[in-house]
Structure 1
Amino acid sequence: MSKDPVWPKLPRGGPRPDKRAREAARRAAAHTTPPPQTPDSDESTSARSAPYAAVQRREELRVFGLNASLAAFAARPQDLRKAWLSEARIPLLRELMAWCVKHRLGYRVVADEDLAKLTGSQHHEGVCLQMRRPPELALEEFLASLPANEAACLLWLDGVGNPHNFGAVLRSAAHFGIAAVLLPHDSELALSGAACRVAEGGAEAVPLVRLEAQEQAVEALQRAGFSLAATLPRGGDSLFEAELPPRTVFVLGAEREGMQQSLIERCRQRLSIPGSGRVESLNIASAVAVLLAAFSSRNPSRHR
């Protein structure tokens, strides 16, 4: 699929298993506990077991897009496992290539069509990094890390599932320096390569917090001094006139379905962004930018 590897000439792991061996590995996957991933594992070895590969997919992430890749490498170079880049990106990625050489990590110079296959996107921007997935935080752990009485803004995404919207939210969140994005315990939303690319580096700047049950999460946030504000397409108080406490959680639902009624009822405020009425509402990415700009304008001393 690619050109000759630049560095290093890693072992290929022997011949490809025959069909019977592959079938046996797949059957074993359902009954075998995967071995833990270690920092020294050779990611280029093709003889890896099927269970191990499944663990790898969960624990690792392909980050693509130039700004996203540069930010991921700058923030977490120790999490880099492998890199693919186009020849045109070599001048911009020499530091990354030198890191790969020093730490005996594989990188390859490949054609754009190969990068499109690796990333599943035409918008790879000439680079793809195999990275360990950054850990999600537990809510209590995150709240304990916040300085006491310091202003902070959080986003609670209830029902949001589109990775491109998620990436745009992370980009705005990073721009305005919010403290974290909160994800429901039953949400399938998680960091992806597409989200990282759209975030343009913002995914490395904003912690993701995985919540437990809704009621317990609301209570924990309230104990920490946060006020929850449900954001609604219509019928809420005007964002531009409402009080926004120094510790605010904006709760947002999916664009079509909205948020759960039970969660709306647990919020102290219900806010809407006033507009001309010519369209039903802003999309979630635009709405988040407006919400965070309003919060930041009323908390100018906040430095998160």
Structure 2
Amino acid sequence: MNRPPRAPWPGRRSPPERAERADRPEDAARPRPPRNDDEVRLFGLNAVMAAFAARPGDLRKLWLLAERMGELRDVMAWCVANRRGYTVVDADELAKVAGTQHHEGVVMAMRRPDELGLSTFLRDLPAGPCQLLWLDGVGNPHNFGAILRSAAHFGVAAVLLPKDSPLALSGAAVRVAEGGAEAVPIVRLGRSDNATQQLQGLGFQLLATVVRGGDDLYALPLPPRCVWVLGAEGEGLDLALAAACSRKVGIPGSGRVESLNVASATAVLLAEWCRQRR
């Protein structure tokens, strides 16, 4: 959940969330191999299998441990048939390729998927009830991955990212998403004020999530077309973006902790919207 709003957005690049390190300590010290800007190295069995199932033509190379050969038999056969390389390596080499020990025995180099523009996304969006997520300043890849997993579970139509956000799909985010990264489009916004007008023009209400002073989530009738606007932990939302939202919403709790982690809060918000629709 978000703290009180911060300074307006123009020219700002949000710092990463302080709740977690962007990388785990053992990963931060590990030298990462060079890679292409249009390529992302995915790891984690569910993550790579979901990516391969969704877009096999984007596969560039596969590395795996010998014990994963049975589970990845079809992927290896596809690599042979389509002249894409695969290499069976030991655990130390695979950790170097992935840049982490949390690879689950497989690494797949994939072309980075294209991000949509808002106008293109909205042009093809069907009418009817819909949830979107607008992540303003969220920077931690593990939180991003958890958000994508919840978004996929609850059928979110897209995740919206500000144009100056450094957030993008990474191996860590895709692993945590457990396949959810392939199910939820990422939309890169232009000017935030233009984006709010476009969304509102199509019947979306923007709801800012806050720690204090918001309407009780469970007592509020949620709109059929909803954009949940979430800010970085410790920083909150831009003042201008918060002002553009229809309402401020909070998740009531015991008071024993100040708020939920942004990824946990996202799951609660999405679940309540789905509950009300049913």
- Structure 1 length-normalised TM: 0.80
> Which of residues 231, 238, 243 in structure 2 aligns to 1:260?
238
Match of residue 12 from structure 1: none
**What is the Cα deviation at residue 97 of structure 1?**
0.2
Structure 1: runs of 5 or more not aligned: 1-52
Match of residue 52 from structure 2: 73
> Which of residues 184, 197, 200 in structure 2 aligns to 1:222?
200
* Structure 1 position 212 matched with structure 2 position 195: no
Equivalent position SS for 1:57: coil
Equivalent position SS for 1:228: strand
Match of residue 120 from structure 1: 99
**What is the Cα deviation at residue 224 of structure 1?**
1.2
Match of residue 153 from structure 2: 175
1:48-70 deviations in Å (ceiling 9; x for gaps): xxxxx99x622111010000000
Equivalent position SS for 2:164: coil
Task: Supply the distance in 1 between the matched residues of 2:264 and 2:228 (Cα, whole angstroms).
Answer: 14
After TM superposition, where is structure 1 displaced by more than 2 Å over at least 4 residues in a row? none
Match of residue 83 from structure 1: 62
Match of residue 179 from structure 2: 201
1:130-185 deviations in Å (ceiling 9; x for gaps): 0001110000100111112x111000000000000000000000011110000000
> Which of residues 240, 243, 249 in structure 1 aligns to 2:221?
243
* Structure 1 position 187 matched with structure 2 position 188: no
**What is the Cα deviation at residue 234 of structure 1?**
1.5
Equivalent position SS for 2:174: helix
Match of residue 130 from structure 1: 109
Task: Supply the distance in 1 between the matched residues of 2:150 and 2:41 (Cα, whole angstroms).
Answer: 22
Task: Supply the distance in 1 between the matched residues of 2:155 and 2:90 (Cα, whole angstroms).
Answer: 37
Aligned AA (1:101): V
* Structure 1 position 103 matched with structure 2 position 82: yes
Structure 2: runs of 5 or more not aligned: 1-32
Equivalent position SS for 1:181: strand
Map 1:10-25 → 2, pairs under 5 A:
none
Task: Supply the distance in 2 between the matched residues of 1:296 and 1:251 (Cα, whole angstroms).
Answer: 17
1:228-260 deviations in Å (ceiling 9; x for gaps): 000001110001111211100000000110111
Task: Supply the distance in 2 between the matched residues of 1:60 and 1:198 (Cα, whole angstroms).
Answer: 18
* Structure 1 position 273 matched with structure 2 position 251: yes
Aligned AA (2:170): S
**What is the Cα deviation at residue 280 of structure 1?**
0.5
- Structure 2 length-normalised TM: 0.87
**RMSD of Structure 2 on Structure 1 (CA):** 1.2
> Which of residues 107, 114, 123 in structure 2 aligns to 1:144?
123
* Structure 1 position 282 matched with structure 2 position 260: yes
Equivalent position SS for 1:252: strand
> Which of residues 115, 140, 150 in structure 2 aligns to 1:162?
140
Larger RCO (CA under 8 A, 6+ residues apart): 2
**What is the Cα deviation at residue 262 of structure 1?**
0.9
Aligned AA (1:209): V
Match of residue 16 from structure 1: none
Aligned AA (1:165): N
Aligned AA (2:106): V
**What is the Cα deviation at residue 298 of structure 1?**
1.2
**What is the Cα deviation at residue 225 of structure 1?**
1.0
Aligned AA (2:75): L
Task: Supply the distance in 2 between the matched residues of 1:57 and 1:266 (Cα, whole angstroms).
Answer: 38
Task: Supply the distance in 1 between the matched residues of 2:129 and 2:37 (Cα, whole angstroms).
Answer: 34
Identity of aligned residues (%): 62
Task: Supply the distance in 1 between the matched residues of 2:252 and 2:105 (Cα, whole angstroms).
Answer: 41
Equivalent position SS for 1:154: strand
Match of residue 7 from structure 2: none
